[in-house]
Amino acid sequence: MIKHYVLDTNVLLHSPHSLFAFSEHTIVIPEVVLEELDRFKSEPNDRGANSREVSRIIDQLRAKGNLIDGVLLNDEGGMLRIAVNHLDTSLPPHWDRYKADNRILQVCRGLSEEGRHVILVSRDTNMRVKAVILDVPAEDFRNEKVAKIEDQYTGRAEVYAASEVIDRFFQGDDRHISVNELRSFDEASQSLLQPVLTTNQFLLIRSTDNEKQTALGRFDGSKVVHLKYRNHTPFGVTPRNLGQIFMQECLMLGADEAPLVIIKGPAGTAKTFYSLAVGLHRFIDCRPRDYHHLLICRPNVPMDEDIGYLPGSEQEKIDPYMRAVRDNLFTLMSGHSMTESKEIEQVEDTVQMLFDKRVIQTEALAYQRGRSLQRYWMILDEMQNSTPRQTKGVITRPGIGTKIILLGDPEQIDHPFLDSRTNGLVYASEKMKGSRFCFQVSLTYDECERSPLAAEAAIRL
């Protein structure tokens, strides 16, 4: 049965090529959606870029025929139609007919009354709820959705091996473990089975016959190898838990081996802190320098949407959104032993010097489009508030010697049209899973090191 998918404006703004994601079915775009796209096209951000891209695609399709009657989208028979009718279709009397959302719903109901199998596709929860009132099926755009958060890739696993295997791992000549020597616990069968491992997955290896014996390793795609940086202290920072040990390994590996690092975890797990510590270590302590620039970006929603309306230069506009970076730098430079105001002022001056001398640069994520980055240490913080398109745009920017670090908490979403299954952080994590160029680790609530209160609040709230 051919279905008629009516697309809301936010779907097209999120993914311009969503027009081609419905196979043999018919795509319907109400004319009010075109008006809304036109309103956004002059914006200097991703929303504006996506609006212009959709307009270009529709204009190219216009050459195929009459858009109102419908034009062919693909070889499977999929069609695109612009809906300009159904103006007299009834709506609840208290609904404003001039509101764009209601006009889209009016088209849905009109098509349904004609006997069409109609489905509204919208990223707006309230819009989908209103569709239910009109007895119109509605769904989110699922083409870029990944697994539920509890099923998403964490970059780490717990496995088991015999004591002699672990002993050989530490003392033998080859110093590696074969996959067929490992076992993982299967919940369904309540038994130990040979594990299915992913390239660059970190492992906590427990002994099957000595509960006190453990080892840490990484699966390199063919065998389990030792961690290279287990005992390092970059910029004086020592890992405090298992997650931070794995995180340190990701960050310390060179850009030639690990050009992309994805770190997920709740607030207080030191994601930003550790990324800054290793970045400064590579920039200041290492000679010759591994990286020429330390760049930090955050896809803060108000920053990307309204930055053009804020007063001042680009740097003055984004400074308020980078205060978390300054907080981490202050902690990194000071430790926890300062009591005198003079010492505090000296550390604050040191932090300011890092920005004044452009040792650390901060920029808006929206302005990274089209760049080619050579030998950058690039931290992308709060990436759970980025779209898949934004994340793809950044990951495809690096040149030789650049290391990109994506940080964020998939459960702390501020973007109105993103959730724990559709944001750019988890999208990149799932799509890059298994790539030899990508290293990942997810930190847990019990690995929060900010303070006992922060750890408790992260779990309870």
Would the pLDDT of 46 be above 50? yes
Would the pLDDT of 310 be above 60? no
| Residue 191: per-residue pLDDT | 87
| Residue 8: per-residue pLDDT | 97
The alpha helices in 172-313, defined as continuous H runs, are: 242-252, 271-280, 301-306
Residue with tokens 């795609």: 221
Would the pLDDT of 264 be above 60? yes
Q: Mean pLDDT throughout 58-70?
A: 95
**Which segment of 131-135, 146-150, 265-269, 448-452 scores lowest on mean pLDDT?**
448-452
| Residue 189: per-residue pLDDT | 85
Q: Nearest 10 degrees: CA dihedral of 62, 63, 68, 70?
A: -110
Would the pLDDT of 173 be above 90? no
Predicted confidence band of residue 457 (pLDDT cuts 50, 70, 90): confident
| Residue 304: per-residue pLDDT | 45
| Side chain identity, residue 174 | D
| Residue 314: per-residue pLDDT | 61
d(CA 94, CA 97): 9
- Domain 4-139: CATH architecture, name and number where available: 3-Layer(aba) Sandwich (3.40)
Would the pLDDT of 171 be above 90? no
Edge-to-edge strands of the sheet including 156-161? Answer: 156-161, 201-207, 214-219, 223-225, 177-178
| Side chain identity, residue 211 | E
C-alpha distances (whole Å) from 430 to each of 215, 262, 269, 352, 421 are: 27, 10, 21, 37, 10
Q: What is the per-residue pLDDT across 72-105, written as a single tens digit (0 to 9) for each?
A: 999 899 999 999 999 999 999 999 989 999 999 9
Beta carbons of 443 and 269 less than 8 angstroms apart: yes
d(CA 40, CA 43): 6
Helix (H, G, I), strand (E, B) or coil at 429: helix
Which of 242, 252, 168, 165 shows the shortest CA–CA distance to 203? Answer: 242
The CB density around residue 250, as the number of other CB atoms within 10 Å, is 26
Q: Mean pLDDT throughout 404-412?
A: 95
Q: Mean pLDDT throughout 376-402?
A: 91
Would the pLDDT of 143 be above 50? yes
d(CA 106, CA 97): 8
Give domain limits for the chain: 4-139, 146-226, 238-460
| Residue 420, token pair as written in the block | 């724990």
Would the pLDDT of 455 be above 80? no
Predicted confidence band of residue 397 (pLDDT cuts 50, 70, 90): confident
Q: Mean pLDDT throughout 111-134?
A: 96
d(CA 13, CA 10): 5
Mean predicted lDDT score pLDDT of the chain: 90
What stretch of H or E contains 389?
Answer: helix 388-395
Region of residue 190 (left: phi > 0; alpha: psi -120 to 50; beta: else): left
The CB density around residue 226, as the number of other CB atoms within 10 Å, is 14
| Residue 303: per-residue pLDDT | 40
Given CATH 3.40.50.300, say whether it is the number of domain 238-460.
yes
The two beta strands, 79-83 and 71-72, are antiparallel
Residue with tokens 């745009």: 393
d(CA 420, CA 427): 10
Q: What is the value of pTM for the model shown?
A: 0.82
Would the pLDDT of 208 be above 50? yes
**Same fold across 4-139 and 238-460:** yes
Predicted confidence band of residue 251 (pLDDT cuts 50, 70, 90): very high
Q: Mean pLDDT throughout 361-382?
A: 85
Q: What is the per-residue pLDDT across 176-202, written as a single tens digit (0 to 9) for each?
A: 999 999 999 988 888 889 999 999 999
Fold of 146-226: 2.30.130
Neighbouring-strand partners of residue 373: 398
| Residue 416: per-residue pLDDT | 81
Would the pLDDT of 307 be above 60? no
CB contact set of 207 (below 8 Å; sequence gap of 6+): 160, 161, 162, 163, 166, 213, 214
